[in-house]
C-alpha cells in the first residue's frame, strides 16, 4: 500500500500588511506657508485698500467664513473681478525659506506625505501654490470651498459641520486630521510620525491629536506657541519652535538621517 503525504495548505495572512511608513507633514497656510493672512490681504483690492467701518467691524466670533462672504460681496459690488483678485493674491509673500522647504519635500515624496488644513479657501490657496509651482507638493488641501458665481462674485462655504467647542464652526482641524489619518490607515498606509506646522490659535486643537513621537512645530511669537505654553498638559507630542522655513528644513533633514 502506498501512502501519500497529505499536502498541508499554507495559510496566508488575509490582513494586508502596511505597505510603507512615511512621515506626515501637516501645514497651516496663513502666516505659515505665506507670511500674511490671505483673507485680509485681499482687502488691498478694495477702494483705498480698506473696508467700510461697518463691514470691517461686523465679524462675530467663530463666524469667519460668513464675515468673508460679506467682504467678497462688497468687493463684487465695487466691480472687483476675478483677475483683479488673482493679481493681488499671487503677490502675497511666502514665509522666508518656505519655498525652498516645499521644494525639498517635493524632491523627497518617497519619505513624506504632505497636506494643508487651512481656514482660507480653495481659490486663494490654488492661486498662490500654482503661481510658485509648489501645488504638486501637497497630497490634499482641506479648506473652505470657494467659487465664482454667475455674476463673477467670489463665494465661500463652510468646510464641514462639527461639534468641537474649541474651533470656529466652519472648520475643526483636529477632525480633518483624524479623518485623514483614519482613511490612510484603512488604505494600508500608516505614518511613522506626524509633524504639524502652524502658528494660530486654531492650530492648538489638531496639535492635541498628536501622540508621543510626533512633533508640533509652532511659529515663534505667534498664538500657537503662546497657547501651548499655557496648556502643556494637553500636549503629548514634542514641541519645536520655528521662525523660517529653513529651520523646518533642517529638522526634516535630521529626521531623514535618523
Residue 113 labelled as part of a binding site: no
Residue 139 labelled as part of a binding site: no
Q: Please say whether the beta carbons of 164 and 156 come within 8 A.
A: no
- List of residues 6+ apart from 114 with CB closer than 8 A: 24, 25, 27, 105, 137, 138, 139
- The set of long-range contacts for 83-86, using a CB threshold of 8 Å and a minimum separation of 24, is 84/45, 85/42, 85/45, 85/154, 86/127
Q: Which three cell numbers stand for residue 1?
A: 500500500
Residue 126 labelled as part of a binding site: no
Residue 119 labelled as part of a binding site: yes
As a 3-state breakdown, the chain gives helix, strand, coil percent values, each rounded to 5, of 40, 20, 40
Instruction: Kindly list the catalytic residues.
Output: 28, 30
Torsion of CA 236, 214, 113, 128, to 10 degrees: 70
Q: Which of these, 199, 179, 192, 211, lies nearest to 241 by C-alpha position? A: 199
Helix axes 122-131, 82-89, angle to 10 degrees: 60
User: Quick one: which H or E segment has residue 213?
Assistant: none
Torsion 177-209-64-136 (CA) sign: negative
Please state the residue numbers annotated as binding site: 28, 30, 39, 119, 199
Please state the residue numbers annotated as binding site for substrate: 39, 119
Please state the residue numbers annotated as binding site for Mg(2+): 28, 30, 199
Amino acid at each position: 500500500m502506498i501512502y501519500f503525504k497529505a499536502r498541508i495548505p499554507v495559510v496566508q495572512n488575509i490582513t494586508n500588511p502596511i505597505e510603507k511608513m512615511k512621515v506626515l507633514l501637516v501645514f497651516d497656510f496663513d502666516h505659515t506657508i505665506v507670511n500674511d493672512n490671505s483673507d485680509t490681504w485681499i482687502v488691498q483690492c478694495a477702494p483705498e485698500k480698506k473696508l467700510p467701518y461697518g463691514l470691517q467691524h461686523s465679524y462675530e466670533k467663530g463666524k469667519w467664513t460668513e464675515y468673508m462672504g460679506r467682504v467678497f460681496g462688497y468687493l463684487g459690488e465695487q466691480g472687483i473681478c476675478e483677475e483683479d483678485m488673482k493679481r493681488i493674491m499671487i503677490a502675497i509673500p511666502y514665509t522666508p525659506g518656505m519655498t525652498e522647504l516645499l521644494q525639498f519635500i517635493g524632491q523627497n515624496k518617497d519619505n513624506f506625505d504632505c497636506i494643508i488644513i487651512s481656514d482660507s479657501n480653495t481659490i486663494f490657496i490654488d492661486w498662490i501654490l500654482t503661481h510658485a509651482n509648489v501645488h504638486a507638493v501637497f497630497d490634499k488641501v482641506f479648506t473652505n470651498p470657494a467659487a465664482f458665481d454667475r455674476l463673477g462674485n467670489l463665494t465661500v462655504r463652510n468646510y464641514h459641520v462639527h461639534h468641537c467647542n474649541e474651533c470656529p464652526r466652519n472648520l475643526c482641524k483636529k477632525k480633518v486630521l483624524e479623518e485623514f489619518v483614519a482613511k490612510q490607515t484603512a488604505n494600508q498606509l500608516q505614518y511613522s510620525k506626524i509633524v504639524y506646522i502652524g502658528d494660530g490659535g486654531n492650530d492648538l486643537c489638531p496639535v492635541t491629536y498628536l501622540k508621543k513621537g510626533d512633533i508640533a512645530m509652532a511659529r515663534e511669537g505667534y498664538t500657537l506657541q503662546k497657547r501651548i505654553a499655557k496648556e502643556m498638559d494637553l500636549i503629548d507630542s514634542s514641541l519645536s519652535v520655528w521662525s523660517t522655513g529653513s529651520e523646518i528644513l533642517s529638522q526634516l533633514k535630521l529626521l531623514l538621517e535618523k
